[in-house]
Amino acid sequence: MRALVYQGPNSIVWQEVPDPRILKPTDAIVKIATTTICGTDLHILKGDVPAVQPGRILGHEGVGVVTEVGEAVTEIAVGDRVIVSCISACGKCSYCLEGMYSHCLADEGASGIGWILGHLIDGTQAEYVRVPFAETSLHKLPEGVVPEEAAMISDILPTGHEIGIRYGAVKPGDVVAVIGAGPVGLAAMTTAALYGPSRVIAIDLDANRVEQAKRFGASDGIVSSDADWKEQVIALTDGLGVDVAIEAVGVPATWDMTLAIVRPGGHVANVGVHGKPVTFPLEKAWIQNLTITTGLVNTDTSRMLIKLLAQGKIDVAGFISHRFALDDILSAYDTFGRAAETKALKVILTA
């Protein structure tokens, strides 16, 4: 088959590789119909995720058709159309039983890390992928749901919802600021509406993304290159600061921004993947009664989000900005990597 193979920092190649095969009784093989590129893939490409070794097939999102299952798989069958979860979970270890699937202890790649596809084992940016723990790591695609929209359930929608909105403890009437209007930040804005905040403020360097964020649930937008960006935010909060500040970029500057605008007693929810250290001025912040959360998505809300998508209760079509054939994946990476120029959100790759 053909697959996108990581060669080391700033180097990927689309090439022929051996087809995946069943290695364990709980595996399934999925023929990829639709996949996409995540901001985490760009972090990998930059060398920010050293656990990803040269030779790894990238990608952890996708929709496809099951072509083979292991002998222990009974709930998923050959021919099923499925959504591939970005988190692979055995469903039986102590962390899985607590719903912390991102810390699955099963020995697949490395114990304690549920994100393994395109990270510790070969991923979905390929014609076929081996999915471990198929019954707990695949979701059947409901009738009537478009595969390219279903791909948003693989990662960005549960990530924005769980790590941004749920960990941020968003509640009715809250003022929420999302720093970073990329796909995951927009997913946080979209799912914030489920909890009734009074304002959702989109903050980004890119004026186009700030404007586009209003299609995804943002009530207000602020361009962070404005000298008075902080004052603009505070003015929307009766001078108190935001109740919930969500960091959805993964760089020191945006982390600092969350601390600058959150009110005493507020929540800071870090969603971004950080490749460099950040500072936390505890000598100032100890008195602020802040709650700060971090996390890798557990995908424990994926089934709920699939139901909402199937019933038309959430709209994800707007996330898709570009479409490519899977064979054109290098062009897709170029487009996605220059999002400020190309206005890319999610690029869809179709086999």
Output the domain CATH number for residue 113. Answer: 3.90.180.10
**DSSP symbols for 204-219:** ES-HHHHHHGGGGT-S
Euclidean distance between CA atoms 184 and 47, whole angstroms: 20
The answer on 171 and 143 residing in a single domain is no
> What CATH number corresponds to the domain at position 270?
3.40.50.720
- Report the pLDDT value the prediction gives residue 252, as an integer from 0 to 100: 97
Domain boundary among 293, 308, 339: 293
- Report the pLDDT value the prediction gives residue 107, as an integer from 0 to 100: 81
For residues 133-148, give the mean pLDDT.
96
The strand order across the sheet containing 175-179 reads 220-223, 199-204, 175-179, 242-247, 262-270, 291-293
- Report the pLDDT value the prediction gives residue 225, as an integer from 0 to 100: 95
Q: CB of 70 within 8 A of CB of 134?
A: yes
Q: What is the rounded (10 degree) CA torsion for 132, 133, 135, 136?
A: -110
For residues 13-33, give the mean pLDDT.
98
- Report the pLDDT value the prediction gives residue 314, as an integer from 0 to 100: 94
Q: What angle do the packed helices 39-46 and 329-337 form, to 10 degrees?
A: 90
**pLDDT at 220 exceeding the cut of 90:** yes
Domain boundary among 278, 293, 308: 293
The answer on 226 and 130 residing in a single domain is no
The answer on 176 and 113 residing in a single domain is no
The answer on 314 and 213 residing in a single domain is no
Percent of the chain with pLDDT strictly greater than 90? 93
Mean pLDDT of the chain: 96
The answer on 228 and 184 residing in a single domain is yes
List pLDDT tens digits, range 162-196: 999 999 999 999 999 999 999 999 999 999 999 99
The answer on 231 and 165 residing in a single domain is yes
Domain boundary among 252, 277, 293: 293
The answer on 286 and 168 residing in a single domain is yes
For residues 32-57, give the mean pLDDT.
94
**pLDDT class for 208, splitting at 50, 70, 90?**
confident
The answer on 93 and 74 residing in a single domain is yes
**pLDDT class for 111, splitting at 50, 70, 90?**
confident
List pLDDT tens digits, range 234-255: 999 999 999 999 999 999 999 9
List pLDDT tens digits, range 271-306: 998 888 999 999 999 999 999 999 999 999 999 999
The answer on 39 and 151 residing in a single domain is yes
List pLDDT tens digits, range 307-324: 999 999 999 999 999 999
The answer on 111 and 26 residing in a single domain is yes
- Count of the separate structural domains present in the chain: 2
Q: How many of the other CB atoms lie within 10 Å of CB of 66? A: 21
- Report the pLDDT value the prediction gives residue 112, as an integer from 0 to 100: 81
Euclidean distance between CA atoms 214 and 132, whole angstroms: 38
The answer on 234 and 140 residing in a single domain is no
Euclidean distance between CA atoms 151 and 153, whole angstroms: 5
Range of the domain at 244: 160-293
The answer on 324 and 260 residing in a single domain is no
**pLDDT at 114 exceeding the cut of 90:** yes
What are the residues facing 275 on neighbouring strands?
none
- Report the pLDDT value the prediction gives residue 108, as an integer from 0 to 100: 85
- Report the pLDDT value the prediction gives residue 299, as an integer from 0 to 100: 97
